[in-house]
Structure 1
Amino acid sequence: MRADRLINIMILLQNRGKMTAKELANELEVSDRTILRDMDALSTAGIPIVSDRGTAGGWRLLDNFRSKLSGLNIDDMKSLFLFPSGKLLEDLGLNSQALDTRQKLLAAIPGSYRDEAQAMWERIYIDSSTWRQSKEKMHALETVQQAVWENKKLKIHYEQADGEQKERLLEPLGLVAKGNRWYLVASRDGELRNYRVSRIHTAKVENEVFRRPLNFNLAAYWEQSKVEFIQNLPKYDVQVEIHPAIIKRINFTGKFVQMIKTEIPNGDKWIPATLRFNDKQEAIEFILGFSNKIKVISPKDLPNKVVSLAMSVIDFYSNE
């Protein structure tokens, strides 16, 4: 609705100071032309909104103008009670006494919202940990966090995927919690990169302050980074027929394989499907693990590879 959008524009300008029409359009998912019409409507309504021209220009509210509009609706109020995992707050060194915090918040919101917010609190709990406690140690998280807060360069010794350690000088831009793991988003030599914090063996905050990239948005960058990561993962597709007795087990083991396509069961009740692995060796080992319950259709050379691995297992235990 247009009224909601006009309120959102005022809130954005109030919080960020100045934004271009394109930035507002991207934030609110409308066209630049729509934003310009909205600015005319706000001006006509008596809102002191002005446009600064030039390379550093944009729309802003006149100095000292503050709207009392919060823009919060009932869904917004309820979402405030969905606290992140207490473990993540603890990692950051924040007081994880969510009960006390939510009690204070509950007392501060309008009475008309209180019952629904209380209901959300009592019915939804977010736990981002795994079933088995992670063995990852994050010796450097506190130092990394300090560099992020202070906008100072960070020197780290980082363990790569192959186990080799490298020294890196970074400009730390933000921390991201993915599941129960922490990642550092940083700029190195002008290129944005992601570093798993548990692989940082040592970290030292440098005295040099750096300038953050203009218009950098941590959440937007991370979402795009995830898309690119998934697109660049190696893919090895296998056409198979699956015995119905194990179809649920394959769906459950999504960590090792992705079932990207299934078809109508054939005359023997076996289910044609396409499985996706990271590489051929992973496919061979997975298929062998299900014995005679997965039949490989293609690639044509794969059954021989599975047989070869099975024979090597037999020879290994026969010679024990």
Structure 2
Amino acid sequence: MRGDRLISILLILQNQGRITAKELAEKLEVSERTIYRDMEVLSGSGIPVFADRGKNGGWSLIDGYQTDLTGLKQSEITALFAPVSPQLLDDLGLTRTSEDARNKIIASLPAAYRKNAKDIWSRIHIDTSSWRGTKEKIASFEVLKNAIWENVKLEIIYQRADGQTNHYIVQPLGLVAKGSIWYFIAAKENGDIRNYRASRIQSAVPGMGTFERPDDFDIAAYWKSSKQAFIRALPTYEVRIKVSGEVLPRLSFSNHFVRVMETGSSDKEGWTSVKLTFDTKDEAKRYILGFADQMTVIEPEELHAEIYRMAEAAVAHYRK
């Protein structure tokens, strides 16, 4: 185990450069004290590792030091060659490049590893497209991609969810694919970083000059934090219902706006108490009404009358 960890430390230092003991400990899921002991072992074995003290200090290798590490474990081969979404590669214009790079890497592997690498692609496939094959159109995707690589400011016209359009001058920082949907990450003129659904960007025009990209911006860390904040801010409307045994299995395959939070035990008649959450009350009413007499509201009681009125309105409409 220690041998694998020492190799991991060497690779991290080679690829990343200076890194603190705390960061290494977090990456390798060990204590900082363990990292310091590992550094002593590396140094004692002739590996030129050294520590810089101070605020911006950390561990690093002497400039120019390289080591050849060819002993890949099966799990490492799987991680290295796990396929990525062909749809997303196609969006980025990297399908052919990815295939060429994959073939070159396989060709450079020792013969004993080549079959393992190829086996992964015959056993795992990642498909992020929808079942109906619908795909969001992104009018200025090429402009967005180029601006991200070239650190060029953009003037964008963005359509919000409510249909209104706004003009922004932004500093492009990256793209994130959530499922098959692309989000454009950019900083506004005041420095605030925002997420823009790429398909809602009606136009993107360069020509506002360049900018200096923040050295410490990590798009993966930013997206994780942004996603957590979004989830915390989502509205929720809780409903407790009784559902028939015929309908119960279908709840797990319902639309995205309903979530099953708790499932109780069934009574003698085969009805089960279930707690659901929705984004809004209106979504809850439409959903419950759609199951007709196979679902009954326990609480909140106010929904009884409101769903009854909706049912009456539907009956009146079809009697015309």
Question: Does the 8 Å contact 2:83/2:124 carry over to 1?
Answer: no
- Counterpart of 1:20? 20
Instruction: Give the count of matched residue pairs.
Output: 319
Q: Are 1:168 and 2:173 an aligned pair? A: no
Name the CA distance, whole Å, in 1 between partners of 2:273 and 2:163: 40
Distance 1:277 1:154, change over 3 A: same
Question: Does the 8 Å contact 1:242/1:272 carry over to 2?
Answer: yes
Question: 1:258-313 CA distances to partner (integer Å, 9 max, x unpaired)?
Answer: 11110110111101110111011100000000000001000011111100111122
- Counterpart of 1:124? 124
Name the CA distance, whole Å, in 2 between partners of 1:152 and 1:72: 40
Alignment RMSD (CA, Å):
2.1
Name the CA distance, whole Å, in 2 between partners of 1:266 and 1:123: 44
Question: Does the 8 Å contact 2:264/2:272 carry over to 1?
Answer: yes
Q: What amino acid does structure 1 have at the position aligned with 2:287?
A: F
Question: Does the 8 Å contact 1:8/1:71 carry over to 2?
Answer: no
Moved more, 90-99 or 108-117: 90-99
Question: Does the 8 Å contact 1:173/1:187 carry over to 2?
Answer: yes
CA displacement at 1:101 relative to structure 2: 4.9
Q: Within 5 Å, give how 1:1-320 maps onto structure 2.
A: 1-69=1-69, 72-96=72-96, 101-188=101-188, 189-206=190-207, 208-319=209-320
Q: What amino acid does structure 2 have at the position aligned with 1:186?
A: A
Distance 1:82 1:145, change over 3 A: same
Distance 1:154 1:5, change over 3 A: farther
CA displacement at 1:240 relative to structure 2: 0.5
Q: Match of 1:223, SS?
A: helix
Structure 2 portions without partners, runs of 5+? none
Distance 1:201 1:120, change over 3 A: same
CA displacement at 1:67 relative to structure 2: 1.6
Q: What amino acid does structure 1 have at the position aligned with 2:83?
A: F
Moved more, 288-297 or 177-186: 177-186
Distance 1:98 1:147, change over 3 A: closer
Question: What is the TM-score of this pair, normalised by structure 2?
Answer: 0.92
Q: What amino acid does structure 1 have at the position aligned with 2:304?
A: P
Q: Match of 1:244, SS?
A: coil
Q: Match of 2:95, SS?
A: coil
Fraction of identical pairs, as percent: 44
Question: Does the 8 Å contact 1:185/1:192 carry over to 2?
Answer: yes
Structure 1 portions without partners, runs of 5+? none
Question: Does the 8 Å contact 2:171/2:211 carry over to 1?
Answer: yes
Moved more, 62-71 or 196-205: 62-71
Name the CA distance, whole Å, in 2 between partners of 1:220 and 1:107: 34
CA displacement at 1:26 relative to structure 2: 2.7
Question: 1:98-144 CA distances to partner (integer Å, 9 max, x unpaired)?
Answer: 66554443332222222222222112221110001224211111111
Name the CA distance, whole Å, in 1 between partners of 2:66 and 2:76: 21
Question: Does the 8 Å contact 2:155/2:208 carry over to 1?
Answer: no
CA displacement at 1:41 relative to structure 2: 2.2
Name the CA distance, whole Å, in 1 between partners of 2:286 and 2:275: 16
Name the CA distance, whole Å, in 1 between partners of 2:144 and 2:92: 10
CA displacement at 1:223 relative to structure 2: 2.4
Name the CA distance, whole Å, in 1 between partners of 2:97 and 2:35: 42
Distance 1:313 1:138, change over 3 A: same
Name the CA distance, whole Å, in 2 between partners of 1:61 and 1:266: 67
